[in-house]
Chain A
Amino acid sequence: MLKKVLLVVMCVALLGTMVVGCSAPASEDSASVTSSDASAAVETAKESVEPKADGERIKIGVNFFNYTMPLAQDLKRMIDSAAEALDCDVEYAANDFEDEKVVTGIENLFASGCDAVIVCNTAEGQIPKALKVAEQYDGKVFQFFRTLNEEEVKDAAFSSPYYGGQVHEDEMQVGYNMGKIVNDKGCKNVGIINYNHGDLTAETRYEGYMKAFEEFGINVVAETWEVATGEQGTQVTENYLASYPEMDALVVVGGGGENLIGAMSALQKADKTDDIVLVSTDFTDTLIEDMESGTLDAMSGGHWCDPFFSFMLAYNSVAGAEWAQEPVEIAMDMIYVTSAEEAKQYDEWFRGDILPYTAEEIQQLSITHNPSLTKDEFIETAQSLSLQDVMERHADLKE
Chain B
Amino acid sequence: MKNKVKSLVLLLGLLVATYLVFFILQPTRFGSAESLFILLQQCLLPSIAACGFYFVLTMGLFDFSIGANIILSALVACMLSVQFGFVGLVIGAILVGTLVGVANGFLYLKFKIPSIIATVGLMIIYECVASYLAGGNSYVLAEEYRILGQAPWNIIIAVIAFAIAMFIIKFTRTGIYIKAIGKNEPMAQNMGVNVSKYKVIGFILCGFFTGITALLTICYSSTVIPVQGMSSMSRNFTPIMGCFIGLAFKKYVNPVISIIIGEFIIAMIISGIMTNGLDSTLQNTIIGVILLVIVAAMGLKNKGKAEVVK
B98 within 8 A of A: no
Whole-angstrom distance between the alpha carbons of A274 and B38 in the complex? 21
Chain A, 13-41, CB within 8 A of any chain B CB: none
Chain A residues with CB below 8 A from B275, complex form: 222, 239, 243
Chain A residue at minimal CB-CB distance from B228? A96
Which one of A73, A243, A258, A269 contacts B274 once the chains associate, using CB atoms below 8 Å?
A243
Chain B residue at minimal CB-CB distance from A233? B221
Chain A residues with CB below 8 A from B35, complex form: 239, 242-243
Which one of A66, A68, A228, A261 contacts B223 once the chains associate, using CB atoms below 8 Å?
A261
Chain B residues with CB below 8 A from A292, complex form: none
Which one of A72, A256, A265 contacts B225 once the chains associate, using CB atoms below 8 Å?
A256
Chain A residues with CB below 8 A from B194, complex form: none
Which one of A68, A72, A222, A227 contacts B277 once the chains associate, using CB atoms below 8 Å?
A222
Q: A285 contacts B137, CB within 8 Å?
A: yes
Whole-angstrom distance between the alpha carbons of A223 and B140 in the complex? 25
Whole-angstrom distance between the alpha carbons of A227 and B136 in the complex? 21
Q: A224 contacts B32, CB within 8 Å?
A: no
Whole-angstrom distance between the alpha carbons of A231 and B38 in the complex? 13
Chain B residue at minimal CB-CB distance from A191? B274
B150 within 8 A of A: yes
Q: B131 contacts A68, CB within 8 Å?
A: yes
Q: A230 contacts B42, CB within 8 Å?
A: no
Chain B residue at minimal CB-CB distance from A242? B35
Chain B residue at minimal CB-CB distance from A244? B29
Q: Known contacts A72-B136, A261-B140: does B223 contact A269 (CB below 8 Å)?
A: no
Q: B229 contacts A68, CB within 8 Å?
A: no
B96 within 8 A of A: no
Chain B residues with CB below 8 A from A68, complex form: 131, 134-136, 226, 228
B45 within 8 A of A: yes
A81 within 8 A of B: no
Chain A residues with CB below 8 A from B279, complex form: 225
Q: A70 contacts B34, CB within 8 Å?
A: no
Q: A242 contacts B221, CB within 8 Å?
A: no
Chain A residue at minimal CB-CB distance from B150? A269
Chain A residues with CB below 8 A from B38, complex form: 238-239, 242
Chain A, 52-75, CB within 8 A of any chain B CB: 66-70, 72-73
Which one of A264, A269, A285 contacts B138 once the chains associate, using CB atoms below 8 Å?
A285
Q: B138 contacts A96, CB within 8 Å?
A: no
Q: A265 contacts B220, CB within 8 Å?
A: yes
B254 within 8 A of A: no
Whole-angstrom distance between the alpha carbons of A242 and B33 in the complex? 10
Closest chain B CB from A196 CB (angstroms) = 9
Q: B138 contacts A257, CB within 8 Å?
A: yes
Chain B residues with CB below 8 A from A239, complex form: 35, 38-39, 270-271, 274-275
Which one of B143, B146, B235 contacts A229 once the chains associate, using CB atoms below 8 Å?
B235
Closest chain B CB from A79 CB (angstroms) = 15
B30 within 8 A of A: yes
Chain A residues with CB below 8 A from B174, complex form: none
B224 within 8 A of A: yes
> Using a Cβ cutoff of 8 Å, how many contacts connect chains A and B?
108
Closest chain B CB from A223 CB (angstroms) = 8
Closest chain A CB from B130 CB (angstroms) = 9
Whole-angstrom distance between the alpha carbons of A269 and B9 in the complex? 36
Chain A, 234-273, CB within 8 A of any chain B CB: 234-236, 238-240, 242-244, 256-258, 261-262, 264-265, 268-269
Q: Could you give, for residues 258-296 of chain A, a 1 whenever the CB lies within 8 Å of some chain B CB and a 0 otherwise?
A: 100110110011000000000000001110000000000
Q: B136 contacts A69, CB within 8 Å?
A: yes
Which one of A66, A69, A226, A268 contacts B280 once the chains associate, using CB atoms below 8 Å?
A226
Whole-angstrom distance between the alpha carbons of A70 and B138 in the complex? 8
B236 within 8 A of A: no
Q: Known contacts A98-B229, A224-B274: does B131 contact A230 (CB below 8 Å)?
A: no
B281 within 8 A of A: yes
Chain B residues with CB below 8 A from A233, complex form: 221
Q: A70 contacts B136, CB within 8 Å?
A: yes
B104 within 8 A of A: no
Closest chain A CB from B183 CB (angstroms) = 35
Q: Could you give, for residues 228-269 of chain B, a 1 whenever the CB lies within 8 Å of some chain A CB and a 0 otherwise?
A: 110000110000000000000000000000000000000000
Q: Could you give, for residues 147-160 of chain B, a 1 whenever the CB lies within 8 Å of some chain A CB and a 0 otherwise?
A: 00110000000000
B222 within 8 A of A: yes
Q: B225 contacts A258, CB within 8 Å?
A: yes
Chain B residue at minimal CB-CB distance from A220? B277
Q: B281 contacts A225, CB within 8 Å?
A: yes
Chain A, 135-188, CB within 8 A of any chain B CB: none
Max chain A Cβ within 10 angstroms of own Cβ: one of B26, B29, B135, B150:
B29
A97 within 8 A of B: yes
Closest chain A CB from B107 CB (angstroms) = 24
Chain A residues with CB below 8 A from B222, complex form: 230, 234, 261-262, 264-265
A46 within 8 A of B: no
Chain A residues with CB below 8 A from B225, complex form: 230, 256-258
Closest chain A CB from B275 CB (angstroms) = 5
Max chain A Cβ within 10 angstroms of own Cβ: one of B221, B274, B280:
B221
Whole-angstrom distance between the alpha carbons of A177 and B235 in the complex? 34
18 A–B contacts, CB within 8 A, in A order: A68-B135, A68-B228, A98-B229, A101-B229, A225-B279, A226-B281, A230-B224, A238-B38, A238-B42, A242-B34, A242-B35, A243-B26, A243-B35, A264-B222, A265-B221, A265-B222, A269-B150, A285-B138
Q: List the 8 closest A-B pairs by CB distance, nearest first.
A: A230-B221, A96-B229, A242-B35, A265-B222, A261-B223, A262-B221, A68-B136, A243-B29
Extra pairs beyond A68-B228, A70-B136, A285-B138 (7, CB < 8 Å): A197-B281, A226-B280, A230-B221, A243-B30, A243-B274, A258-B223, A265-B222
